[in-house]
Amino acid sequence: MHRNALEPELQPEPELELELEPELEPEPEPESEPEPEPEPEPEPEPEPEPEPEPEPEPEPEPEPKPKPKPKPKPKPKPKPKPKPKPKPKPKPKPKLKPKPKPKPELEPEHEGESEPEPEPEPEPDPEPKPEPEPEPEPKPEPEPVPVR
């Protein structure tokens, strides 16, 4: 349970709180037990006086503060992924197709008298022949370098 819920009489009214504020100024509090100062005695090494401890300031009663809403953290932007470069596709070798030969134009007089005979089409090769690769040039042997 909340501490203030158990002690409602300790909560000052808002009007009284304004009157009490000037009294909340830090007042010097008497130390619990004042230490007696050592009397100077005829000694070769006198003890140094202990420095007075700083007085703790009275803590004001914590006022209920509205909690700030946590700001949503900005999501990191995803880095753009590099697009894969399209690999060059091997060009398909053109199949040998017979080119249609232009038909000789017939004069209008002879139209329809005789039909041109269809020429036999040459059969395309079942497998295209691989092109002969150029032979690699023989590399000259490197000259031996004298070692020092």
Q: Taking every pair of C-alpha atoms in the chain, what is the biggest distance, in angstroms? A: 156
Position 64 confidence tier, pLDDT thresholds 50, 70, 90: low
pLDDT tens by residue, 100-112: 776 666 555 555 5
C-beta of residue 50 within 8 angstroms of C-beta of residue 35: yes
Whether the CB-CB separation of 49 and 37 falls below 8 Å is answered with: yes
Q: Are 46 and 39 in contact (CB under 8 A)?
A: no
CA-based Rg of the chain, rounded to a whole angstrom? 54
| pLDDT > 60? residue 54 | no
The predicted pLDDT at position 141 comes to 65
Which band of pLDDT confidence, cut at 50, 70 and 90, is reported for residue 78? confident
pTM (whole model) above 0.75: no
- Give Cα separations from 137 to 133, 134, 140, 142 (angstroms): 12, 9, 9, 15
Model confidence pLDDT, tens digit, residues 5-32: 565 565 555 555 555 555 555 555 555 5
Which pLDDT belongs to residue 50? 54
Give pLDDT, residue 65.
Answer: 66
Confidence category of residue 72, pLDDT binned at 50, 70, 90: confident
* pLDDT score, position 86: 73
